[in-house]
Structure formats: structure tokens, C-alpha cells
Amino acid sequence: MGPLTFAALAAGLVASALTVVLHPNPVKSALALVVTLFLLAVVFVFLEAHMIAALQVIVYAGAIMVLFLFVIMLLNLQDDAAETRGSDRIALRAGAWLGGGVLAGELVTLFLRLPLAAPSAAPEGYGGAAVVARSLFTDYLLPFELTSILLLIAVVGAVVLAQRREA
Amino acid sequence: MVPTGWYLALSAVLFAIGTVGVLVRRNVIVIFMAIELMLNAVNLTFVALARQLGTVDGQVVVFFTMTVAASEAAVGLAIILAVFRNRATVNADELASLRW
């Protein structure tokens, strides 16, 4: 990926991420988050993580964001303009932006100074389903099995929490 | 070829935006989405460093992060629904019963 492609992708990512944080309407925040996740999938393709890019689109931009949109619409949320651009709590918001700016500046300076050599050419099949799956089912077999228990607990927990109790 | 440091810098900026989102917003669902943004920024770091090292271990970790994020979203949104049913609000300032 050339520097120009990267700059365009980075600009799109930062713009959509800021929209997630700043837009008063939660539905539009959620849609901006879908755009962010999709652009990240594009970046993953450029980093030769093809399997992860596909999972990002299917699982994140697909399944998880549908869950978010579903809950937002179920709750029928309205715009909250006061908290995004009103005079509400100026000191706290200024402090948060200042802190976030310092965090970003510090990390960017640090990362750009890291003495990283240019990566060598990726091995054959790098980032594809076969290579990732081989690592997943050999070196990481125990964590993989544990995630199945985690997902089971999450499903049961979500059902128990969200069900309507007749008191 | 873009240097790995640029990808790491981009993920740092996205992480900082997510942090600011958690701090400035009061709508718990938007706070939740900002947390997802931070998780994804870290995923970008993992993928970029996996490419740098030429191994797929970082990508496997991203796989696990996605699983945890999916579980977290399911349980978290169920909690938000349950709270909304009892209190009819998703404003974090009004949900302060547990605060000392």
C-alpha cells in the first residue's frame, strides 16, 4: 500500500471514529462505527490478514453492529444534543479532549520512533484461513476451547438478563 | 510499502478517540460503542505487529479479541435492556445508585 492510499484510509478512519464519538444521534453513531470497522477490514487486507479481514466484516460489522442497532431502536433513543455540543460540563469535556490529545500525541511519537526494520516478504499463504487455523488448532487449542465455554456463558447470561420477569 | 510504525500510530489515534468518547458521552450505548472502537484500535496493533514479525500469532489473538467483544456486546446490551426496563433511562449520570 502506498503512502497516499494509507493517508486516505487513515483520514477516513479518523473521521468516522470522530463521528461515532461526536454525533448526537446514537443510530448515526452506530452507522459511523460500521464504516470504521469496514475501513479497518480494508487496512487488515493491506496487512495481509485476509482471514481476519473477512471475520471483521462478517462478525463485527455484521453481527455485533446489528445487535447494537437493534437495541438502540428497541429503546427508541432520541438525539442528545446537550451532551455533544451544549454548554453542559465544559471543564470535563475540555479535560477529556486534552487528555486524549496528550495520549494520542505521546503514543504516536513513541510508535514513529520505534526502530522497526521493514518487514520481510510474507511467507506463502500468510494470513489465509489454512495458516491461521493451523496455529489456532495446535498452539492455541486450549484458549480456543475455552472461548466456546465463554460464548455459552454469554448466551445464557444474555437470555437470563434480558428476559421479562413476571413479578 | 508503508512502515509498521504508521499503522501503530493510526491505532494510537483511534484508541485515543475511543477514550475521549468514553469520557465525554453520557449515553451508555455510545460509551459501549467507544469501547468497541478501542478494542478495534488494539486489534490493528496486533495485526500490524504480526505482519512485522511474519507470524500469525497476532492474528490468532485478534480472533480471540473478537470472540470476547461479541460476548461482551451480548451481555452488556442485555444489561442495558434490563436497566432500561427498570429505570427508563440510558444516561450514565442517572444510573448512580451504586455510587458511594
- The domain spans of chain A are 1-79, 87-112, 124-167
Whether the CB-CB separation of B33 and B14 falls below 8 Å is answered with no
Confidence of residue A8 (pLDDT cuts 50, 70, 90): very high
Average pLDDT of the segment spanning A89-110: 90
| Residue-wise pLDDT tens digits, A12-51 | 999 999 999 988 889 999 999 999 999 999 999 999 899 9
DSSP label at residue A23: -
Element (H, E) at B55: none
**Could you say which architecture CATH assigns to the domain A1-79?**
Up-down Bundle (1.20)
**Per-residue pLDDT at A122:** 76
Average pLDDT of the segment spanning B69-74: 92
**Per-residue pLDDT at B93:** 79
Predicted ipTM of the assembly: 0.91
Q: A22: burial class by Cβ within 10 Å (0-12, 13-18, 19+)? A: middle
DSSP label at residue B93: G
A99 contacts B20? CB cut-off 8 A: yes
**Minimal Cβ distance to B80: which of A56, A63, A71:** A71
**Minimal Cβ distance to A47: which of B33, B51, B68:** B51
CATH topology for B4-89? Answer: Helix Hairpins (1.10.287)
- The domain spans of chain B are 4-89
Element (H, E) at A78: none
